[in-house]
A and B are shown apart, each in its own frame.
Chain A
Amino acid sequence: MASTLAPTPLEHPLRSGLPPERSAPPCALVIFGASGDLTRRKLMPAIYSLARAQRLAPSFAIVGVSNSPWDTERFRAEIADGIATFTGTAVDPDLWRDFSARMQYLEGTFEDPALYQRLGQALAGLTATSGNVLFYLATSPSLFPVVVEQLGRAHLHRAKPGEGEAGHEPWTRIIVEKPFGRDLDSARKLNQQLHQVFDEEQIYRIDHYLGKETVRNILIFRFANGIFEPIWNRRYVDHVQITVAESIGIEQRGRYYEEAGALRDMIANHLMQVLSIVAMEAPVRFAATPVRDEKVKLIRSIKPLAASNDPAAWARYAVRGQYGPGFISGKPVVGYREEPNVARDSTRETYAALRLEIENWRWAGVPFYLRSGKRLPKRVSEVAIRFKSPPYLMFDNLGAEAIDANVLVMRIQPDEGISLRFEAKVPGTDMRLRPVNMDFHYGSSFGEPQPEAYETLLLDAMLGDGMLFARYDMAESVWALTTPLLEFWEANPPKDFPNYAAGSWGPKAADEFLAREGREWRRP
């Protein structure tokens, strides 16, 4: 891989001290899969919100590429409709006039080299974008290698030298949507295909979970406050639970989900990313490379999951489940096997829980429990750090044997915030204890709405900040950890599916999983 480190850009003298501090430089965004759901629901509403917040250059241009038989007018109309629907606000006609004037659409099949010739001509016609191009792969994952190869053949993977001014070399970057493979082999293969055309510095593997304000706040919480880091280790922490629960089922994604499952869909992406941020060492700087180095180091410190064929050995590390019929919010819902495009005898897991151990000085002996599932009682994502109980309970004569340990909960969604549970004396002449929560709610401390994750991440990519994107070694390390379990589960289909009712907190085995160690899952 050739190095393409960007030169230090010239300082814009009029930008100094001016909010917003983070504004994208002039560039063109090329979306492959421009007629797809992701573009309509997430990408373009996020781009429009950035434009409305004046975080895009006036010359910012969008080129939509897809095989749908649309023209530019249809593309603009579809996007306008998507923006109105998914931002919840009416499109500002003046802003939209300028914004849409810089949108164009190219129809073609992704395998066709002529499409990329036309794309090259379209990009060459954009005179005020300083030669900067951001490609976005919003297609089916199977098309990622096709598009990347064709971009390379058309020489669109490198910015044209000389288009930028001295000190302002133009850049070309590419955003790749998850999943980054479906196991270790496929992840490595995808990375190789990407690296045959793009340098790693150009590649931004997006996991929208990391763009969530509260996930990013974990970094601030840990490293901008002096009081938590001293207790963030095996001396004080009993165990950690990371939960991403969804009350929805698989909706219309039956085909995808039959291939993916909870372990691939959630744990190998979102939860491992969150785990790495919660448990990593302090990076030397708050910058992409040091942060990503620490995240990878953390994932590589996780004890490999059992590699035997003994189901009992695996059962100490992992539990899987599949929902059957049940009730969500008081309404009956069907089981997974009755969902559209799902096999009637499917053995695909819709719930997965893992017990991980991190083998380093900070965390040795502290279990990290990760769980994620569909059709759980409510939608909630949180990290709960349960601290050790006091070493000596002098209150036992007060009937306080069961003092609850302190728990620090970082709520990612909904009701984003942080709470700390501790014991307090119940007012009165008697000495009675009761746990109380000290709560911080984002909504009540900051009146401003939080940006959508895609807004944050798209802006980061335009600014060349890769901190919140997965590096190739992160993707491969996660798959190296989880692939043995995936293979064991594939080779040993479950006999008890479905094993939890929709609307419950998962299979009984998941409770037993923690009960064996004298612990229990939190009920968020």
Chain B
Amino acid sequence: MAQTLSPLQPSAAEAEALELAEVERRLAAATQATPDRTRASTLNLICCAENAADAQALAAELATLARRHPGRILLVVPAAAARGAAPGEWRARILWASAGEGPICGEIVQLEAAGMALLSASMAVAPLLLGQVPVFLWWRGEDPIDNPRFEDLAAISDRILLDSQALAYEPEAFLRLAEAQRRLHHHGCVSDLTWTRLTRWRQMIAQAFDSSAAMRQLGCIEAVSFEATGGEPAVNSGSLLLAGWLASRLRWRPARRIGPAELELTAPGGAAVRMSFQAGTHAADGGYLLSAVNLRSRDGLLATVARGGDKIKLALHCGDATLACLTTSFPAFTLIDALRSELDHLRPDPVAEQAMTASVELLYLLGTKRS
């Protein structure tokens, strides 16, 4: 999934610091001067760096988005006040992100300011947003709740991308995400990049039940278990969100807590479904928090989806008989891969929202304070 880093021209250190009013004119002039380069504009992406070093690393990673999502990236960077600049004044640097192959490129506009100006970054960002294409805000790291910087930028965004995995390796992150969703629903939809990391897991689990005979077994699942990578905690955002997805799709309702990482849910017909989270032994590599998911039906159908190295394997058994087996590649999924995938979606995903809601319910049942 990882791509060769596309060249950034020039580096942030080499780029001239401009007044914001100069940015559009410079971009237009640069486009005219390089007719062999095609400036493509499919979206706006806003994100914030912690400092100049972080911005440099981030810009290099974000440049790789140009291949699939060429557009304008507005990178907000805290900086020392520029010499000669008035207090609160912004400066911009223009970097070109090439798609690597072909003439397509997008631009990264690095916006720098010091002090209180950063609390109202939207004042600098909004005039530079490309018209008629969506505005994404990728919020990194910091807790978004009651965070004025976050709320300032969220207010000018159509979609807000958070990462429960980055907020903390704690399932409580979901509560913060759910709160962010509640507060921001009138601005734009909030999505969790962890959901994107689970896409392949969801595909494989769904595939296990594609045949009509197997699909019938979905109504009589009696046990489901999630094995986490990296040992404790057994309950992590990846396994919890996947559990929430299964619960919401199969209409299982939380019933009771059986153990520290074990729940009982109730299926639509009233049958009990045992859900357990187990600490695994695999290292948490490749950006994934899961190593295996097992679903067992009362009729003896066992579906296992397990990751091993850069492969993911689906096996469907009934008693001793193997009904289906499929192994496909499953390369590491970096944060930028997740971002790249999530930028495909311009609208809220109701399935994700329902999964998130169900995950929060499961989390409450488990008890929110977990080690």
Please indicate whether A and B come from the same complex rather than being unrelated chains. yes
Give the interface of A toward B (CB within 8 A).
10, 12-19, 23, 25-26, 52, 54, 57-59, 92, 94-95, 97-98, 101, 127-130, 164-165, 168, 443-445, 447-448
B140: interface (CB < 8 Å): no
What B residues does A92 contact at CB under 8 A? 328-329
A135 to B329, CA, bound (A): 29
Assess the B210–A127 pair: CB atoms within 8 A. Answer: no
For B38, the chain A residues whose CB sits under 8 A away are 444
A97 to B199: give the CA distance in the assembly, Å.
24
Interface status of B19 (Cβ within 8 A of chain A) = no
Q: A164 near B212 (CB under 8 angstroms)?
A: yes
Q: Indicate if the CB atoms of A17 and B99 lie closer than 8 Å.
A: no
* Docked-complex contact B327 and A128, CB < 8 angstroms: no
Q: Which of B103, B104, B324, B351 contacts A17 (CB 8 A)?
A: B351
Q: In the complex, which residues 300-333 of chain B have their Cβ closer than 8 Å to any Cβ of chain A?
A: 311, 314, 316, 323-329
The size bracket of the interface on B is 35 or more
What is the chain B residue whose CB lies nearest that of A57?
Answer: B210
A23: chain B residues within 8 A (beta carbon): 207, 210
A102 to chain B, nearest CB (A): 9
- Write out the residue numbers on chain B whose beta carbons fall within 8 Å of the beta carbon of A127: 323
The answer, among A18, A98, A130, A447, for a CB contact under 8 Å with B327, is A98
A-contacting 9-mer, from B141-149, B213-221, B284-292: B213-221
Say which residue of A19, A26, A58 sits within 8 Å of B325 (CB atoms).
A58
Our pick among A12, A14, A165 for the contact of B213 (Cβ within 8 Å) is A165
Q: List chain A residues, Cβ under 8 A from B249.
A: 13-14, 16
Quick one: which of B99, B211, B351 contacts A26, CB cutoff 8 A? B211
Q: Complex: how many Å from CA A131 to CA B325?
A: 18
User: Do A58 and B316 form a contact, CB below 8 Å, given A13-B218, A17-B350, A447-B68?
Assistant: yes
Assess whether B271 is interfacial by the CB under 8 Å rule. Answer: no
A98 contacts B326, C-beta separation under 8 Å: yes
A443–B102 Cα gap in the complex (Å)?
Answer: 9
Given contact pairs A58-B314, A95-B328, A98-B327, A18 touches B104 in the complex (Cβ within 8 A): no
Assess A14 versus B202: contact at CB under 8 Å? Given A59-B211, A165-B215, A444-B104: yes
Smallest distance from the beta carbon of A162 to chain B beta carbons, Å? 11
A95: nearest residue on chain B (CB-CB)? B328
Q: Which residue of B lies closest to A167 (CB)?
A: B212
Q: Which residues of the other chain, A, contact B104 by a CB distance below 8 angstroms?
A: 444, 447
Interchain CB contact (< 8 A) of B328 among A94, A129, A443: A94
Contact B327 A97 (CB under 8 A): yes
Q: Which residues of B contact A165 (CB under 8 A)?
A: 212-213, 215-216
Q: A95-B329, A444-B38 are in contact. List 11 more A-B contacts (CB 8 A).
A: A10-B212, A19-B199, A23-B207, A54-B204, A54-B328, A58-B207, A94-B327, A95-B327, A98-B326, A447-B70, A448-B68
User: Which of A13, A23, A52, A443 is most buried by chain B, counting CB atoms within 10 A of its CB?
Assistant: A13
Q: Which residues of A contact B206 (CB under 8 A)?
A: 12, 14-15, 18
| Chain B contacts for A19, CB-based, 8 A | 199, 203
Chain A hits for B68, CB < 8 A: 447-448
Q: Do the beta carbons of A18 and B199 come within 8 Å of each other?
A: yes
B114 part of interface (Cβ distance < 8 Å): no
* Shortest 3 CB-CB contacts between residues of A and residues of B: A17-B351, A58-B324, A168-B212
> Is residue B23 contacting chain A, with contact meaning CB distance below 8 A?
no
A10 touches B215 (CB 8 A): yes
Residues of B within 8 A of A443 (CB): 102
Q: In whole angstroms, how far apart are the Cα atoms of A521 and B283 in the complex? A: 65
